[in-house]
Amino acid sequence: MTLLLGLFGVGLVFELLLQLPGILWKSRKLLITMALAATAFASGVLLLWNFNVWTVLLCVASMYRIVNYLRIIEGRMHEQYLRHATLRTTLVMVGIQLSLAALWWGWQQWHETGHLVWLAVAVTQLVLAVILLVSTMRSVQRTKWPQRTPHLSDDDLPTLTVAIPARDETDDLRACLESVITSDYPKLEILVLDDCSQTRRTPEIIRQFAHDGVRFIESEAHKLTWQPKNQAYDHLLREASGEYVLFCGVDVRFAPDSLRQVMRVMLHKRKKMLSLLPWRAVGAERSFAVVQAMRYLWELAPPRRLFNRPPVLSTCWVAKRDALARAGGFVAVARAIVPEAHFARAFTRQDDAYSFMRGNLALGIQSTKPASEQYNTAIRVRYPQLHKRPENVYLLSLVYSFFILTPFVLSVAGFWVSIGTTAHIIAVLATVLNVVVYLWIAMITRTGGPWLSVIGLPYGVFRDLVLLHTSMWKYEFSEVDWKGRNVCIPAMHVYSHLPKV
């Protein structure tokens, strides 16, 4: 045991030495290779010496520390950013491992075994299941689209700009614009920015709608320190003249009165920003969209507002133009993958001036995003949602495994393994509550039917974990493509691709 602690300590010493300036950082590949070897060897010996749940958790944590080592070896980020990110991950992961070791020691000292242990585990899981259910009930109620809103005359409605960034779009862009120009909104401006499309069809389609009031915006030269989408948003915001600006993708479709309804609700609720979850396109509800279902579960189930992390989607959102400017504009979120989250937090703090709403069939705003694009979007947003930190990926994996997957395992294994009748019943109840939450969200968002949802939760969690780790790997060591551009460059401060000054 002393040898194992020594090897883990050697790895930690090498990691901390790398935070010192000067020659040690220049020798980072040698030092970190030694740290990697010491940590990997110690983890392997630990598993062989005593294979149990605690050693598995400790060794899995070591794998995330190895990811941190590889970040240093790769060295593709700006040095200051890399030092800060890797030091933070080192300290947090070591703290996690020390906490796990302390729990392991306490477990060994605790002489109570058998049914009491499983009862404690099941009760903990049930408590979280109840919290998720209550939080989901509140979210479903808060996000419901109101059936009635006060009538507003055309004169009472504010000016509105619909801003659409487009890059290499054809049929979807045409269908989107055809739906927007049918709007009965009286004070409407429609802007479409051609974001350096590589095909001539995109600008041609935009210009074809010029006689319908659509204004063509030619993009500026791309800045490598900006996310391309954020730069497009910034340009559109500067060109917009409306008091409110609605941003949407080309996969969104509007009914003639959709914009009027949106502005009625926004004014009635006195909001500065509104994010919309569109109604899934007619016919699409027949397919089971596991990626979308987990995305909506992530946004609607946890008590996010307690942590000032309100739910948000980038598909379709509207905000007051001068309020965006006061919140820093897109300059403040130039590198952000989900810039809407920054504004949602800012407006939530300002007298709860932000709302997340679920559309319905009467609203008429629909999304036609295909499954392949849902997958690409998940890869693009999942790791940034966890602040691009490997330690957060590990912690979320633990939460998923213990609170969502383990109740399923105990519910089934309890028929053959003696865990105690009470613990088994509680585990079954926790499983049922988790399935109810998932089923509820899948039904209201039309991303799955009742029968598929029963097996959809464990499969969705497993799929989300795979997507999350894929997203982490691509951001840290590869590329994340969006419309033919590598969004890792600004997001991860990858300065090797930037021109030298």
Q: Which among 352, 294, 304, 350 is positioned nearest to 327, based on CA atoms? A: 350
Q: How many domains does the chain have?
A: 3
pLDDT tens figures, 142-153 = 999 998 888 889
In a domain, 302, yes or no: no
Residue 277, beta-bridge partner list:
358
What's the Cα-to-Cα distance from 354 to each of 322, 324, 345, rounded to whole Å?
15, 12, 8
Token pair for residue 401?
Answer: 């495994």
Write down the pTM of the prediction: 0.90
Token pair for residue 253?
Answer: 């479709």
Higher pLDDT, 1 or 483: 483
Mean of pLDDT values over 26-30: 67
Cα(136)–Cα(433) distance, integer angstroms: 11
Predicted local confidence at residue 30, as pLDDT:
73
Higher pLDDT, 287 or 473: 473
Residues near 27 by beta carbon (within 8 Å), at least 6 away in sequence: none
Cα(460)–Cα(291) distance, integer angstroms: 7
Place of tokens 């991950």: 89
Cα(109)–Cα(364) distance, integer angstroms: 61
Same domain, 104 and 253: no
In a domain, 450, yes or no: yes
Predicted local confidence at residue 501, as pLDDT:
33
Predicted local confidence at residue 418, as pLDDT:
79
Same domain, 205 and 235: yes
In contact, 375 and 291? CB cutoff 8 Å: yes
pLDDT tens figures, 363-412 = 999 998 887 788 899 999 999 999 999 999 999 999 999 999 999 999 98
In a domain, 25, yes or no: yes
Mean of pLDDT values over 53-77: 87
**Domain range for 7:** 2-109
> Last residue of a domain, which of 306, 341, 369?
369
Same domain, 334 and 396: no
Token pair for residue 108?
Answer: 């060994």
pLDDT tens figures, 192-202 = 999 888 888 89
pLDDT tens figures, 452-472 = 656 778 888 999 999 999 999
What's the Cα-to-Cα distance from 19 to each of 9, 14, 389, 405, 453, rounded to whole Å?
16, 9, 18, 38, 48
Same domain, 332 and 457: no
In a domain, 306, yes or no: no
Cα(189)–Cα(25) distance, integer angstroms: 54
In a domain, 298, yes or no: no
> Last residue of a domain, which of 60, 91, 109?
109
Same domain, 133 and 150: no
Same domain, 267 and 173: yes
Q: Band of the pLDDT at 186, cuts 50, 70, 90?
A: very high
In a domain, 491, yes or no: yes
Q: Which among 337, 364, 340, 375 is positioned nearest to 354, based on CA atoms? A: 340
Same domain, 271 and 162: yes
Predicted local confidence at residue 414, as pLDDT:
81
Same domain, 407 and 470: yes
* pLDDT at residue 12 tops 80: no
CATH number at residue 345: 3.90.550.10
Strands 366-367 and 279-280: parallel
Same domain, 232 and 354: yes
Predicted local confidence at residue 10, as pLDDT:
57
In contact, 65 and 9? CB cutoff 8 Å: no
In a domain, 294, yes or no: no
Instruction: Report CA torsion sign: 453, 455, 457, 462.
Output: negative
Same domain, 207 and 259: yes
Cα(279)–Cα(444) distance, integer angstroms: 9
Cα(228)–Cα(3) distance, integer angstroms: 50
* pLDDT at residue 329 tops 60: yes
Predicted local confidence at residue 499, as pLDDT:
44
Same domain, 359 and 390: no
CB atoms within 10 A of CB 37: 15
Same domain, 130 and 168: no
In a domain, 420, yes or no: yes
